[in-house]
Amino acid sequence: MMELLFLGTGASVPSRDRATSCIAVRSGSDIILMDCGEGSQRQLMISPFSFMRIKTILITHLHGDHVFGLPGLLQTMSLSGRKEPLTVYGPQGIKRCVEAFMEVTEGTTVYPLEVIEVSGDEFFPVGDTFVSVFKTKHNTTSVGYRICEQDRPGKLDKEKAISLGISEGPDMSRLKNGITVNGVKPEDVIGPAIKGASISYTGDTEPTQTVIDGAKGSTVLIHESTYMESERNLATEHSHSTCIQAAETAKQCGAIFLILTHVSNRYDDLQEVVDSAKTVFPETYAARDMQMYIVKSDSLSLKE
């Protein structure tokens, strides 16, 4: 299970109701932050998540509405006495971006900070999850990310194990740990592995095959939806996607659920955006600031 918290869901500029792009994913006690637009640390402070528990920050691209909150958050962590290391991942230019931010604001960190540039083919662990990177298509260098839980061992059929002569206690534990006991193999009494949940996030992008490939089979696809389909020409001009294009990508990559974010402030009625996308992909939702979802391998539920 992962907790998915939308801290900022607007496009380009903040509004009264929506901050700029920032999404937090919590697995266990570790938090991964995806993008860090203006106001992100304030959103974190009024959320159930502690910014001090952030283990990694994943930046999709260097446009201001995705990074302007980064220097403030990094420096606030120092002022709050952070000691744990922090890693920031992002596309080419993220190192220079962070260095420039910290230099011009005379900011420092009292904790180990590592900034790593990625191109779209990387795979690395973060806590008890794994993150993979895929290329996206925007009007600047950009990437998307997929966060995956590890698969869990299948369920032990205790009654079957007992019928095969296994007694409760140490022998049952050995079977759970993959050890054959008295000729009974673990696969004889343990079901198939339980698939972990996965969350893919595109950042800003036009429709592209690399997103379909990178997000294939995701439990949840979080896809930008800057424009309605009636303004597809603007989406193409600015290297963004429409809600219909996002829905088509979700369908093609085999996602179970689609959550639309980065919706232009010109659209007051988010339900209209969702209803349009649902004509292509029925399991579509719109992200709203401060909403939290519980993501399991085959289910998505809104946490009240």
What is the DSSP-derived secondary structure letter of residue 93? T
d(CA 154, CA 129): 18
Name the token pair of 246. Answer: 């996002």
For 175, other C-beta atoms within 10 Å of its C-beta total: 24
**What does DSSP say about strands 30-34 and 54-58: parallel, antiparallel, or unpaired?**
parallel
Nearest Cα residue to 205 out of 248, 147, 148: 248
Using CA of residue 60, residue 66, residue 71, residue 74, what is the dihedral sign? negative
Tell me the HSE value of 138 on the side-chain side, using a 13 A CA sphere. Answer: 21
Going by the DSSP 8-state scheme, the letter that residue 249 receives in this structure is: H
Q: Is 188 a catalytic residue?
A: no
Pick from 266, 235, 220, 203: nearest CA to 37: 203
Q: Which of 17, 30, 35, 65 is catalytic?
A: 65
Q: Which residues pair with 261 in a beta bridge?
A: 224
CA distance 293 to 197: 13
Phi, psi of 69 (to 5 degrees): -90, -5
Name the residues annotated as catalytic.
65
